[in-house]
Amino acid sequence: MALKIEARRQISTRMLYLTPFIAVAATVVAGFFVFMILGSDPVESLYVFFLSPFETKYGFSELCVKAAPLIMIAIGLALGYRANIWNIGAEGQLTVGAVCGGAVALAFWDEAGIYILPLMALAGLAGGALYAAIPAFLKTRFNVNEILTSLMLTYVATLFLSVLVFGPLKDPQGYNFPQSRMFTDSATLPIIWEETRLHLGFVVALAIAVAGWVLLSRSIIGFQIRTLGSAPAAARYAGFDRTRLTWFCLMLTGALAGLAGTFEVSGPIGQLVPNISPGYGFTAIIVAFLGRLHPLGIIGSGMLMALSYMGGENAQINLGLPQAVTGVFQGMLLFFLLASDFLVRYRVRVVKPAVEGI
């Protein structure tokens, strides 16, 4: 007896929906042993990791708060990745977007009005898009690789934010500490669920996901993006403008990341600080692929990724597990989820070795 791996003739739809559950089940089994080896009660650990965030209204709302920027950024990234445009600097675009949106909030700090939030959102969109325009320009004009430019610009963005919060944007009453004034109510996103931090940004993120889905599956540019990624030769033959698509994908990703950044500072944070994002721009890359570059899949993967971070925090708080353990477990969970893609495309059959081996 041996195992034979063979490709499915077509992608298994049943497996497509089933695999995330198989992966979670596999992680639970593996996690059981990992926690046992590390001397922690496995059942309790798994419970805390996966289920404790759902125990409370606040916990659940926080999942959404954390997932919102991940989803928003991952939608943009997914479009780009489909067209083979490797923007890995969403973190920097988020930062610049937050700076621009935040600067608007601070400019209107002594005013109130419903126009302030839309202005901030516009500034965030524009800031992120313009920052992503740098790699787009260098790529289309000089063929400079966007992996390098977008990543390097992320570090520059963080330092740029630092210049501002240590200088012109710092709170005049803040004893020269590096943070801005707190934003006024007019510059703060409305809370959509009482007693939580769940803000309007989450709804916007969901709307963007749906819009992204429509764009990708129903629009001409979506068709061009898909073709460029899956059949570049065909795209060239059909005369699709690669330059234009590069600009479009990078600017759109940048704009969405910038909006996410603005939402972070006008929502959960409420001011400009030297550290805005806990790596959302990078985590969103995992989210994009975990959601199989599909806008609706990204909603699910964004929530799952948020859960893995919150589960890790809860495990530290409720079980006293060091972060090292939760990091290892989170990595494992991702490994299983990513590997499960295999089952969608392949099946494993038991065959007799006499006939055929592997």
Partner 1 sequence: MIRRIDRRTFLAGSAAAGLTLAAGPFHKASAADPLKIGFVYVGPIGDFGWTHGHDLGRKAVEAKFGDMVKTTYVENVAEGPDAERVIRKLAADGNKLIFTTSFGYMEPTLKVAKTFKNTYFEHATGFKTAPNVSVYSSRFYEGRAVVGHLAGSLSKTGKIGYIASVPIPEVVRGINATAIAARKVNPEAEVKVVWINSWYDPGKEGDAAKALIDQGVDFMTQHTDSPAPLQIAEQRGILGVGQASDMKAFAPTAQVTAIVDEWGPYYIERAQAVLDGTWATANTWHGLKEGFLSLAPYSDAVSETLAAECEAIKAGIIDGSLHPFAGPIKDQKGEVKVAEGSALADGDLLGMDWYVEGVSA
Partner 2 sequence: MGLDTILAMLLTVIAAATPLLLAAIGELVSEKAGVLNLGVEGMMLVGAVIAFATTVGTGSPALGILAAMIGGMVMALAFGVLTLTLMANQVATGLALTIFGIGLSSLIGADYIGTPVDKLASLSIPGLSDLPVIGPLIFGHDILVYLSVAITVAVAWFLKKTRAGLILRAVGESDLSAHSIGYDVIRVRYFAVLFGGLTAGLAGAYLSLSYTPMWVEGMTAGRGWIALALVAFASWRPWRVLGGAYIFGGVTILQLYLQGGGDIGIPAQVMNMLPYLATIIVLTVISAGPWRGRLDAPACLGKPFRPAS
Q: Count the Cβ atoms, other than its own, within 10 Å of residue 142.
A: 7
295-319 helix and 280-290 helix, angle to the nearest 10 degrees:
120
339 binds, among partner 1, partner 2, none (CB under 5 to 8 A by kind): partner 2
Residue 182 sits in the site that holds partner 1 (CB under 8 A):
yes
The residue among 276, 270, 301, 327 whose CA lies nearest residue 154 is 276
The residue among 90, 123, 29 whose CA lies nearest residue 250 is 90
Q: Which residues of 150-165 are buried (b: 16+ CB within 10 A; e: fewer)?
A: bbebbeebbeebeebb
62 binds, among partner 2, partner 1, none (CB under 5 to 8 A by kind): partner 1
Minimum distance, C-beta of residue 232 to partner 2, in the bound complex (Å): 9
Residue 144 sits in the site that holds partner 2 (CB under 8 A):
yes
- Cβ proximity to partner 2: between 72 and 198 the closer is 72
Contact 96, 251 (CB under 8 A): no
Contact 295, 319 (CB under 8 A): no
| HSE, side-chain direction, 13 A CA sphere, residue 129 | 14
Stretch that binds partner 2, among 93-101, 103-111, 253-261, 333-341 (CB under 8 A): 333-341
Q: Which of 60, 109, 160, 223 binds partner 2 (CB under 8 A)?
A: 160
Q: Which of 112, 159, 231, 348 binds partner 1 (CB under 8 A)?
A: 159
Residue 82 sits in the site that holds partner 1 (CB under 8 A):
no
Residues composing the chain: 358
Q: Which residues, 262 to 291, sit near partner 2 by CB under 8 A?
A: 282-283, 285-286, 288-290
Task: List the x/- string, 25-54, binding to partner 1 by CB under 8 A.
Answer: ----------------x-xx--x-------
Residue 91 sits in the site that holds partner 1 (CB under 8 A):
no
In the three-class reduction of DSSP (H, G, I as helix; E, B as strand; rest coil), residue 85 is classed as coil
- Cβ proximity to partner 1: between 32 and 223 the closer is 32
Q: Which of 9, 195, 350, 355 binds partner 1 (CB under 8 A)?
A: 195
Residue 178 sits in the site that holds partner 1 (CB under 8 A):
yes
Contact 97, 128 (CB under 8 A): yes
Q: Which of 107, 273, 328, 351 binds partner 1 (CB under 8 A)?
A: 273
In the three-class reduction of DSSP (H, G, I as helix; E, B as strand; rest coil), residue 3 is classed as strand
The residue among 295, 293, 261 whose CA lies nearest residue 128 is 261
User: How far is it between the farthest Cα atoms of the chain?
Assistant: 82
Contact 282, 91 (CB under 8 A): yes
Contact 11, 341 (CB under 8 A): no
Q: Which of 118, 168, 331, 357 binds partner 2 (CB under 8 A)?
A: 331
Residue 306 sits in the site that holds partner 2 (CB under 8 A):
no
Residue 330 sits in the site that holds partner 1 (CB under 8 A):
no
Measure the CA angle with vertex 40, ends 38 and 42; round to 5°: 105
Alpha-carbon gap, residue 270 to 267, rounded angstroms: 6
Residue 56 sits in the site that holds partner 2 (CB under 8 A):
no
Q: Which residues bind partner 1 (CB under 8 A)?
A: 41, 43-44, 47, 55-59, 62, 65-66, 159, 162, 166, 175-179, 182, 195, 197, 264, 267-271, 273-279, 309-310, 313-314, 316-318, 320, 322-323
Q: Which residues bind partner 2 (CB under 8 A)?
A: 6-7, 81, 86, 138, 141-145, 147-149, 151-153, 155-156, 159-160, 162-163, 166-167, 282-283, 285-286, 288-290, 322-332, 334-335, 338-339, 341-342, 345-346
